[in-house]
Amino acid sequence: MSRSDVPPLYLLLIPLGFVIWSIAFVTLYAANAIGCAFGWDMGAQRMVLIALALGFLALSTLASFRIWRFWTGRARHQPAPAASLAQIGTYTALSALAASLGTFVPGLAVSLCI
């Protein structure tokens, strides 16, 4: 039973950015549904949604940055698949960051409960 140089966990580098996007998506959608069902004040609900979106954007940025650093730094000195996975991970994390901007920013300006 030998241990791998590049453990299977490295595979998670690839979807990481979009996992954050998915959690953000579901959280914002749920917060909107709960806010409308519970009759929250519109201003307060919008603030909650914007705060959540900003939080997730920050998280997404951080993740992209870390994966990129990993790709350009440590992953270079590991066996080839590490660099390859980190490269794909950087691309997907950046795509996820762009997707977060594209998905959440336009929506936050429109009507909340109609």
Partner 1 sequence: MSESPPLSPIRLHKALERIWGTGPGWQRLSAVNHTVLGKRFMLTAFVFFAIGGVLAMLIRAQLASPHAAFVGPEIYNQLFSMHGTLMMFLFAIPMLEGLAIYLLPKMLGARDMAFPRLTAYGYWCYLFGGIIIVASMLFGVAPNSGWFMYTPLSSQPYTPGINADIWLLGVTFVEISALSAAIEITVSILKLRAPGMALGRMPLFAWYMLVTAMMMVFGFPPLILGSILLELERAFGLPFFDPTRGGDALLWQHLFWLFGHPEVYIIFLPAAGALSTIIPVFAQRRIVGYHAIIAAIVALAFLSFGLWVHHMFTVGIPHLALAFFSAASALVAIPTAVQIFAWLATLAHGRPRFEVPMLYVMGFFLVFVIGGLTGVMLAMVPFDQQAHDSYFVVAHLHYVLVGGFVFPMLAAAYYWLPHVTGRQSVHRISVPAFWLIFIGFNLTFFMMHLTGLMGMPRRVYTYPSNFGWDWLNLLSSVSGFILTMGFALFAMDIVLHFRFGRRFRRNLWRAPTLDWAMPTRPTSYAFASLPTVTGHAEEADPDTLGPQLAGGQGYLGFVRKNRLETLGVDMTTGRVEHVAILPSPTYLPFISGALTTGVVLAMLFKFYIIALLFALATFASFLFWSREKGEREDCGPIAIGKGETAPPDAEVSGPSAYWAMVIGLAANGTGFAALLFGALYLWLVAPAWPPPQIVGPSLWLWLVLPALGLASLASRWAQGTNASGRDPRLQLSVGMGLDIAALIVLSLALAALPDPTAHAHMATMAALLGYSWLHAALGLFCGLNALLRYRWGYVSARRPLPLRLNLMWHDFTLVTGLLGVALILAMPGLIGALEAAR
Partner 2 sequence: MKRARILPPLALASASLSACAGPLSTLDPAGPSADAVANLWWVMFWASVLLFLLVGGLWALVWLRPGFGRSLAPMRWVVLGGLVMPGVLLTLLVGFALYIGERLLPHALADPPPRVSAHGIMWQWQFSYPDIAGAATTPTLHIPAGAPVDIVVTSGDVVHSFWVPRLAGKIDAIPGHRNVIRIQADRPGTYEGVCAEFCGDGHTTMRFRVEAHAPQDYRQAVLEAAP
Q: State the SS3 of 71-107.
A: HHCHHHHCCHHHHHHHHHHHHHHHHHHHHHHHHHHHH
Q: Is 109 in the site for partner 2 (CB under 8 A)?
A: yes
Show the site string, 44-83: x = touches partner 2 by CB under 8 A, - = not.
----------------------------------------
Q: Residue 55 binds which one of partner 1, partner 2, none, with CB within 5 to 8 A depending on kind?
A: none
* Residue 27, Ramachandran bin (φ over 0: left; ψ between -120 and 50: alpha; else beta): alpha
Q: State the SS3 of 42-68.
A: HHHHHHHHHHHHHHHHHHHHHHHHHHH
Q: Is 107 in the site for partner 1 (CB under 8 A)?
A: yes
DSSP one-letter code for 2: P
Q: Residue 14 binds which one of partner 1, partner 2, none, with CB within 5 to 8 A depending on kind?
A: partner 1
Binding site for partner 1 (CB under 8 A): 1-2, 4-8, 10-11, 14-15, 18, 21-22, 25, 28-29, 32-34, 36-39, 49, 79-85, 87-88, 91-92, 95-96, 99, 102-104, 106-108, 110-114
